Amino acid sequence: MAAMAAVIVVHAYSPFVSTTYTDIGGYDWWTAHVLDSGLRWCVAVFVMISGALLLRPRDEPVADFYRKRWAKIGVPLFVWTAAYLIWMQWRDGISLTEALTQAATGSPSIHLYFLYVIAGLYLFTPFLRTVVAHTSRNGLWWFAGVALAVGVVDQLLSLMDGVGGVTAVTRFVPFLGYYLLGRLLFTVEPGPRVTRFGLAAFILGVAGTIAGAAATTFVAGEWGAGGEYFYDFLSPPMILAGVGAYLSLRAAGLRLAAAEGPMALATERAVRWLSGLSFGVYLVHVMVLYTLRDLGGTPDGVIGVLVAAGYAVATAVISLVLVAIAQRIPLVRATV
């Protein structure tokens, strides 16, 4: 739920960071930059949560696993890929060739790449469960560390002209380390020491992202590859922030689960309800946000920062309502 809220805020403010609506160094740019830097852990946390839940060794036939995962991710992947490409053709006038290229690269919209990442990870999950079940804990830490290191190097190499490029089939590979790490960190005994480590990692990671992206941007005189590097989910500061956010949110969740009383029960029910809508909100929120921008516009300056906050809140509310309705409609329910 927290990761879903973070995604919406990131998308609401990212045009300010990339200077679509403002200039580098102003109050509005810095506000958007700090918010964006502090919330970009969201996708890493989504992947780690998936790893924590699905990599637990269990006696489940492979065919049953794939059938369940197809219902969960396969149907939405195809339906929403088609929906966003049709919507962008209507809204932006993209050609059929451009639409097919975006689908082939696993990025039919700014956020749908995540479905291709998760689909690829799901495809290898039965194999990875066997690895987790029969590999020592120390060996798994090495495996996760090497996988993350490969992702970091891949991202660095992609900064070079003419190097890099991903497809719908390979989108998941750089995120394999996060997937394994999610399971490993889930099995770490929770406690004050782990919580302090999580908070420290989060603060250092966010601070490193803010400083690194700002420094490279000011040196270049524009938002470009340097800033995008630090914002990417596999830059070292972002890995720290992702791990820190995961551990901190897990600690908060455990405290909530242990709380007692009417207020705690009501809060737990609300969190469960919102969590059940999160996936659908992730899918639909970009259409909602962009439509609000198209209708209302986005001014620059301080007013623009406030308007972006309003768009984020409105996007969350409208998306929740739409998904709650969709989940009550037969057939449509399977897409969200």
Q: What is the pLDDT of residue 47?
A: 94
Would you give the end-to-end CA distance of the chain in angstroms?
Answer: 15
Q: What is the pLDDT of residue 168?
A: 80
**pLDDT mean over 114-121:** 93
**pLDDT mean over 89-107:** 85
- Alpha-carbon distance of 316 to 140, in angstroms, equals 37
Q: What is the mean pLDDT of the chain?
A: 88
Q: What is the pLDDT of residue 159?
A: 74
Task: Give φ, ψ of 300 to 5 degrees.
Answer: -90, 180
Burial of 126 (0-12, 13-18, 19+ CB in 10 A): middle
**pLDDT mean over 2-30:** 86
Name the H helices within the chain: 2-17, 27-39, 42-54, 62-69, 75-92, 96-104, 113-134, 137-158, 176-186, 192-220, 225-231, 236-258, 262-296, 301-326
208, pLDDT greater than 90: yes
**Region of 60 on the Ramachandran plot (φ > 0 left; ψ -120 to 50 alpha; else beta):** beta
10, pLDDT greater than 80: yes
Q: How open is the CA angle 277-271-286, to the nearest 5 degrees?
A: 35
Segment 260-319, tens digit of pLDDT: 777 767 777 877 888 889 999 999 999 999 999 999 887 777 788 889 999 999 999 999
Cα 45 vs. chain centroid, distance in angstroms? Answer: 7
Q: What is the pLDDT of residue 34?
A: 94
Burial of 4 (0-12, 13-18, 19+ CB in 10 A): buried
Q: What is the pLDDT of residue 162?
A: 58
Q: What Rg do the C-alpha atoms of the chain give, in angstroms?
A: 20
pLDDT level of residue 163 (50, 70, 90 thresholds): low
pLDDT level of residue 336 (50, 70, 90 thresholds): confident
Q: Which of 265, 258, 267, 311 is nearest to 289 (CA)?
A: 311
Q: What is the pLDDT of residue 333?
A: 87
Q: What is the pLDDT of residue 166?
A: 75
